[in-house]
Amino acid sequence: MEAAGTTTAATAARPEIVMHGLKERPRGWLEWLTTTDHKQIGILYLFTTFLFFIIGGVEALLMRLQLAAPNNTLVQPETYNGLVTMHGTTMIFLFIVPVLAGFANYMVPLMIGARDMAFPRLNALSFWLLLFGGIAFYAAVFFEPPQTGWTFYAPLSDDAYSPSGGVDAWIFLIHLTGISSLLGAINFVATIHNMRARGMSWGRMPLFIWSILVYSYLLILALPAIAAAVTMLLTDRHFGTDFFDATGGGDPMLWQHLFWFFGHPEVYIMILPAFGMISEILPVFARKPIFGYKAIAASTVAIAFLGMLVWAHHMFTTPTATVVLAFFMLSSFAIAVPTGIKIFNWIATLWRGQIVFRTALMFAAALPALFVIGGISGVLLAIFPVDWQLHDTYFVVAHLHYVLFGGSVFGIFAGLYYWFPKMSGRLLSEALGKTSFWTMFVGFNMTFLVQHSMGLSGMPRRIYDYSSTLHVSGYNLVSTIGSFILGIGVLITVVNVIASLKSGRRAGNDPWRANTLEWFTQSPPPPNNFDVVPRVRSVEPMKDIRREVEEVGRPAGSVAQPVASGT
């Protein structure tokens, strides 16, 4: 795409902006290293985080291989605990949270009709901090990876029990990715509050933008707690303090409270933007407006608020008074109401639609189907006496994967199939996409459905080995086979992306007949995003534009492509 200035200069009738003394932007790889363009930064985020997704996935497959049979000796217990820790940390801090930031980076300015993010250089800093956080963490592979699980419970993570530098590498990761997320969140808040197109009031903001706004506020509220906790852990490990050491007057429970005060909002940080994505995708492919816009936006805020008040439901088995447990049970129950509202609204959106089965729709419709299972097992876990049996077993592993894979990752894949044409200008192959979807769907359920039963039969999580007397060998074998099917499904999408980048069909500006402003500009969008930003009159500005075009009687392309029709 040519720069906007030269294009407008060519069409004589337009007002012309001439810029002097601007340096030429560097080309090639230097362009990517120095870019402050939100779209390029978005691509960098997406590429990096998908790379970490593959790494984390391979770690998961190694664990599943080890657990395929009882008394297996494929990996050492230390290696297994390292894999547990790396897998959890990678998926949460280096994949789901930042991949959502990647989509948001690319889409937020486009969806609200802005030229870029509010602070473009800060935006670049966010990405590079994330990358170096990931590198600092993975450097531990070359000495000794941490072996404490992604929760890093003190005193196990203290220097007495984890003397290796792996824990310190993790502390660096938390600080670097934490600052990255904080800066990114501040940037999103500033952008969404100040840079929306004319007419885009709060009630006309796309639901994905609502979810990113709430995601950002949650990050700002939750991250300081973990930053404080890991700093205390750092001084405990190296400077002789005893924050988490009971023998020195500290308290291991303090770690758990600080960690989960961050850790539970983190769960909603990971799921709300995926909810936002499918709230955009379902109406487009059902050819219907979203059902209950206000309820979905309000429930996003309600989930975030309640999400700050449920952290101790991760601590039901700790020495804690019953009245506290009862409070956290009730607050956790309460979250089921706004979550349920969302699911009912999505189903009502599909109801009496004309549902076009493209891959994006299939991933988007799988999200509520799978999330319901994770939501229901979540309510069972919230009943604290029941949690005494289920806590720290494979039941919890199944629950969290139904929420984070069935929820977030299926949402992220829906977003990928939906927005890839906008980002690349080319369509992904539908045949490969649907094959990938069904393979992932079958593999996912095969892997994680049986894990409920493993947990109910008494198999704790985070064990490298189990006895055949536990009667979970059959479940484990099924789960391992399923995980490889799931892996193949993901791989098909990777192939699809690589192939379609080169030879996918041209997408055009608006291949899906969608509702929001990003489809108004070209695919991929030019550096300045929009030459003309239309005035927003409803929550579906593109629908208004199409209707106007039909009334005037001109072909849709002439308005949807206001400038670059010559290129």
Partner 1 sequence: MMRRALASPRTRRLLVVALCGAPVALLAFAPGALADALTPESGGGSENAEAIDTLYKVALYIAIVIFLMVEGTLLWSLVRFRFRRRGPDAAQIRGNTPLELGWTIGAGLILLVLTAVTFIYLARIENPPASDPGGLQSQRGQLAALGQPAPPGGRSLDIHVNGQQYIWRFDYPGKPQLFSYHELVVPTGTTVTLKITASDVDHSWWIPKLGGKADAVPGHVNETWFKVERGEEGVYGGQCAELCGSGHADMRALVHAVTPAEFQAWSQRQRDDIKAAQEGLARQREQREKANEVD
Among residue numbers 388 through 447, which ones bind partner 1 (CB under 8 A)?
388-393, 430-431, 434, 441-442, 445-446
**Binder to partner 1 among 14, 204, 257, 471 (CB under 8 A)?**
471
Peptide bond into 524 cis (omega under 30): yes
Reference 487, options 415, 431, 439; nearest CA is 439
What φ, ψ does residue 393 adopt, rounded to 5°?
Answer: -110, 180
Report whether 353 contacts 294 (CB < 8 A): no
Binding residues for partner 1 restricted to 291-320, rule: CB under 8 A: 291-295, 317-319
Catalytic choice (268, 466, 475, 512): 268
* Minimum CB distance to partner 1, residue 354 (Å): 4
Instruction: Compute the least distance from the CB of residue 185 to partner 1, in Å.
Output: 29
Q: Is 462 in the site for partner 1 (CB under 8 A)?
A: yes
Among candidate residues 48, 157, 279, 408, the one labeled active-site is 279
**Given 196, 391, 461, 462, the catalytic residue:** 461
- DSSP bridge partners of 506: 426
> Backbone phi, then psi, for 373, in 5-degree steps?
-65, -45
Interface with partner 1, residue 368, by CB under 8 A: yes
Q: What whole-number distance in Å separates Cα of residue 466 and Cα of residue 457?
A: 12
From the list 86, 96, 209, 286, which residue makes contact with partner 1 (rule: CB under 8 A)? 286
Residue 460, strand partner residues: 393
Minimum distance, C-beta of residue 44 to partner 1, in the bound complex (Å): 32
63-69 LR contacts (CB < 8 Å, sep 24+): 63/87, 64/447, 64/479, 64/480, 64/483, 64/484, 65/480, 66/464, 66/465, 67/464, 67/466, 67/476, 67/479, 67/480, 68/476, 68/477, 68/480, 69/473, 69/476, 69/477
Interactions with partner 1, residue window 232-261 (CB under 8 A): 246-247, 251-253
Contact between 170 and partner 1 by CB under 8 A: the answer reads: no
Contact with partner 1 (CB under 8 A) among 63, 96, 104, 156: 156
Minimum separation from the CB atom of position 364 to partner 1 (A): 11
Choose the catalytic residue: 38, 175, 196, 264.
264
Assess 202 for contact with partner 1 (CB under 8 A). Answer: no
Catalytic residue among 59, 116, 168, 518: 116
264 is a catalytic site residue: yes
Tell me which residue of 331, 362, 195 sits closest to 264, measured CA to CA.
331
Instruction: Pick one of 58, 139, 189, 379: the residue that binds partner 1 (CB under 8 A).
Output: 379
Q: Of the ranges 52-60, 98-106, 336-344, 499-507, which one interacts with partner 1 (CB under 8 A)?
A: 336-344
CB 144 within 8 A of CB 100: no
Does position 84 interact with partner 1 (CB under 8 A)? The reply is yes
Distance CA 137, CA 387 (A): 32
CB 53 within 8 A of CB 117: no
CB 9 to partner 1: min, Å: 43
Q: List the catalytic residues.
A: 87, 116, 150, 180-181, 264, 266, 268, 279, 313-314, 339, 342, 461
